[in-house]
Structure 1
Amino acid sequence: MFDKNRIITIANQKGGVGKTTTAINLATALAAIGEQVLIIDLDPQGNASTGLGIERRDRKLSSYDLLMGFNSIPETVQATAVPNLSIVPSTMDLLGFEMEIAQDSDRAFKLRRALQSQEARAYSYILVDCPPSFNLLTMNAMAAAHSVLVPLQCEFFALEGLSQLLETVDQVRRTVNPSLDIQGIVLTMFDARNNLAQQVVSDVRTYLGEKVYHTLIPRNVRVSEAPSHGKPAILYDLKCAGSQAYLQLASEVIQRERRRKAA
């Protein structure tokens, strides 16, 4: 592994928790303050690609080609409408990835190999958006990453799902990536009027302490609307509560990185 940049996997085996929304908007916020950022879309659904305005017909090369070693980072990267933000888009080809590499001895390290190129070091942050399950795609993402960022919905079953994910991270740490760390837990879809949401926030902070970001990502209509326009919420409506929260989250991420480097 190299430390010229920071590779962060955004993962949660539960769907609908704001994982892709977090990937898109955190990346946009980091790019807005001058960081060179790359998103790698590892979800066959390709929602991160769609949410950044990359039409399916324009995805000539994809993360599948990168993982399989057919093409390199410079060949698969596409620019987005956001300055300083690029993406390796996803296609449905990823659905066959697991079956194609099942017998390969390095099946968990395809992405790590691709990101050990000189071209990958041009990005200060690489965010990997995972599918909502623990499979070989997610394993590749975690094997390549320095850390895992976990979006967690403020709902009743949140802690149960979080426990499973933390066990998965421990498993990856024991088997393929000893240096993998928890970057942080991002509490999403927070509704201040909901007593249950308040209780979830309290429970998660008690359970995980400083690993939980201070920023709460609120439920926000404008954030939900933005992907249908092929834009991050921060471009779609900068002043809405969701966009402002993601800007705060980016600030927290950078502050944590500074503290980590100083330690």
Structure 2
Amino acid sequence: MTGKLIAVANMKGGVGKTTTVIMLAEALAADGARVLVVDLDPQASVSVCLAGEALLAELIAHGRTLEAYLALKLIAREKPLLQPRIRAGVSVTMHRGEPLALSLLPAGPHLRLVEREILYALTARNLSMRGIDAKLRKIFTDEFRPLAQAYDYVLFDCAPGLSPMTEVAIRGADLVLVASIPDYLSTYGLDAFVQIVWEQGRDEDGSAPRRPPHVLVTRFQQQVRQHQHILARLEAEAASDDAGFRLLATRIPQAASLAEALMPRAVPPTFSAKYGPHVSGILRPLIGEVKEIFRAA
């Protein structure tokens, strides 16, 4: 059995994607899974949260990042290896006396520049946009999908919007989680996102992503009326016969303790101490839902 590829995405930034990726990755690792996190966001938030500033700076300086690999592969036309850029054992969170089995393919702030230069370089070689898309999809198929042989779950922290690598990851993932605050602005582009990727953005062979996206409500505040109304609307839309998305039952609350869980600590925390009551109230139900999605496929 091969592992599963999960892309966490949203057209909008600031909706809790990185928090979701880290929580889900550590919860799956605490459940016994081998987990790899791939950072596709030039903000490098998930990289700095997992690796720390000093280690991430070292990895960037030595070319051990995603953008360094892409630059060599597509701009310099060399034959770099992806595996040496994966850093094992990045989590300092302890569980049952051992660090969580969590690995990272980091990104740095130059990822956006590299993606732009890739478009320039491939266009100069007379590749059309369809040709560039096909080339990126082939890299994903040849280099990223095989990672599922070594890991139970590969999580992609996607950039806001639809950057070249983000779109490739979304289209190639086994599951897309759309992290969204239940407010007007965060959900405004949801329908457009579904139409662009799942309805209008089919491959040349007519295929679309493997299954509809699943929306995960984040930063939920039960006492906020707008959150209640938007959540009710999402539930109604997801329950309709022609729904373009599914809605997870788990709600990630707006909680200071979850934000603090991402901060570096002088003493390595245990998984249970780091997340406290959220382990049983949020994380276990969340990974249970994710597993059920794959079981039902």
Give the TM-score, by structure 1 length.
0.87
C-alpha change, 1:83 and 1:140, in structure 2 (3 Å) is same
**Which moved further from structure 2: 131-140 or 240-249?**
240-249
Please say if 1:92 is aligned against 2:109: yes
The alignment status of 1:239 with 2:276, answered yes or no, reads yes
After superposition, the Cα gap between the structure-2 partners of 1:17 and 1:232, relative to the gap in structure 1 and judged at 3 Å, is farther
Return the offset for 1:108: 3.1
Note the alpha carbon deviations across 1:175-196, whole angstroms, 9 max, x for none. Answer: 2653432351100111111121
Instruction: Quickly say closer, same or farther: Cα 1:116–1:188, change in 2 above 3 A.
Output: closer
* Residue equivalent to 1:76: 85
Q: Does the aligned pair in 1 maintain the 2:198–2:212 contact within 8 Å?
A: no
- The counterpart of 2:12, out of the listed 14, 18, 38, is 14
Structure 2 counterpart of 1:129, from 137, 149, 157: 157
Matched, 1:52 2:50: yes
**Structure 1 residue ranges without an equivalent (≥5):** none
* Percent identity between the two aligned chains: 28
Give the match's secondary structure for 2:261: helix
Matches within 5 A, 1:77-226: 77-79=86-88, 80-81=90-91, 82-102=99-119, 103=122, 105=131, 106-109=134-137, 110-117=139-146, 119-171=147-199, 174-175=202-203, 178-209=208-239, 211-226=246-261
The answer on whether the counterparts of 2:37 and 2:157 sit within 8 Å (CA) in structure 1 is: yes
Secondary structure, aligned partner of 2:13: coil
Gaps of 5+ in 2: 74-78, 92-98, 240-244
Deviation (angstroms), 1:130: 0.8
* CA–CA separation in structure 2 for the residues paired with 1:235 and 1:86: 20
Secondary structure at the aligned position of 1:214 is classed as strand
Gap change, CA 1:170 and 1:45, over 3 Å in 2: same
Asked if the contact 1:40/1:127 (under 8 Å) is kept, the reply is: yes
- Against the structure 1 CA distance between its residues 48 and 185, is the aligned structure 2 distance closer, same or farther, given a 3 Å change threshold? same
Q: For 1:165 and 1:242, locate their aligned partners in 2 and report how far apart those are by CA, in whole Å.
A: 31
Q: Give the CA RMSD over aligned residues.
A: 2.6
The alignment status of 1:40 with 2:18, answered yes or no, reads: no
Shift of 1:234: 5.0
Quote the Cα distance in structure 2 between the aligned partners of 1:9 and 1:160. 20
Assess if the C-alpha contact under 8 Å between 2:33 and 2:101 holds in 1: yes
Stretch of structure 1 that moved more, 166-175 or 74-83? 166-175
Q: CA deviation at 1:50?
A: 1.2
Matching residue's letter, 1:250 = I
Q: In structure 2, what residue type is equivalent to 1:217?
A: I
Deviation of 1:203 after TM superposition, in Å, equals 0.7
User: Equivalents in 1 of 2:199, 2:52: separation in Å?
Assistant: 34
Please, which moves more after superposition, 74-83 or 33-42? Answer: 74-83
Structure 1 contact 153–190 (Cα < 8 Å) conserved: yes
Larger-gyration structure (1/2): 2
C-alpha distance 234-14 of structure 1, shift in aligned 2 (>3 A): farther
Q: Does the 8 A contact of 1:108 with 1:139 survive in 2?
A: no
Distance (whole Å) between structure 2 residues aligned to residue 97 and residue 111 of structure 1: 16
Distance, in Å, in 2 between the alignment partners of 1:66 and 1:33 is: 31
- 1:130, 1:24 → 2: CA distance? 13
Structure 1: distance between partners of 2:232 and 2:270: 27
What TM-score, normalized by structure 2, do the two folds share? 0.78
CA contact (8 A) 2:250 2:285 kept: yes
2:149 and 2:269 mapped to 1: Cα distance? 24
In 2 relative to 1, CA 242–46 (structure 1 residues): closer, same or farther, beyond 3 Å? farther
- Change in Cα spacing, 1:252 to 1:33, as seen in structure 2 (3 Å) is same
Equivalent in the alignment of 1:253: 290
